[in-house]
Amino acid sequence: MGAGVMKNGGGGGNRRRRGRRGKAAPMSEINVTPFVDVMLVLLIIFMVAAPLLTVGVPVELPKTAAQALPQETEEPLTVSIAADGTVLIQSTEITREELIPRLRAIAAERSDDRVYLRADGVVPYEDVAQIMGALNAGGFSSIGLVTDVGGPALNGDDN
């Protein structure tokens, strides 16, 4: 496939060697086309496979730009955890045992899987993490944590 064979009798002048009459001589040109074809196929394979090799944890990263949120077509779902540990969906108090079934029923009716979680500052982190797990199990994968502005900055300035 790469190198061809050429007979001595054609197009190369009248030079003939004794003893090689009628025998084929190797062609000294390299055919690059198969090489280019193989390289293009390998390039396509690597272009398709490279994004699949990235391993990461799916995390909703916080946005730092202070722009207005886009207008939503339906009212955003809000789940709140009060200081005493009670859980509220919108303004309706609900027990933790019926939280996941209620969230699944709400998720079946909604087209948006975004939910906002509001938790009092004295609520333990474990409770917030459990409610976030319940939100995920209930069908809401996009969870936004609601906070107040004006807290301490990471650079040491209290604003």
Give the tens place of pLDDT for each residue, 29-76.
Answer: 888 898 999 999 999 998 888 777 655 445 454 555 445 555 556 677
The predicted-structure confidence for 105-139, as pLDDT tens digits, reads as follows 888 888 877 888 888 878 888 888 998 899 888 88
Confidence category of residue 13, pLDDT binned at 50, 70, 90: low
Q: What is the number of helices (H) and of strands (E) in the chain? A: 3, 7
Are 115 and 77 in contact by the 8 Å Cβ rule? The answer is yes
Are 138 and 99 in contact by the 8 Å Cβ rule? The answer is yes
Q: Is the pTM of this model over 0.85?
A: no
How many Å apart are CA 121 and CA 106, to the nearest integer?
27
Q: What is the pLDDT of residue 149?
A: 64
How many Å apart are CA 26 and CA 5, to the nearest integer?
5
All structural domains of the chain, each given as residue ranges with its CATH number in brackets, are 77-147 (3.30.420.270)
The β-bridge partners of 94 are 87
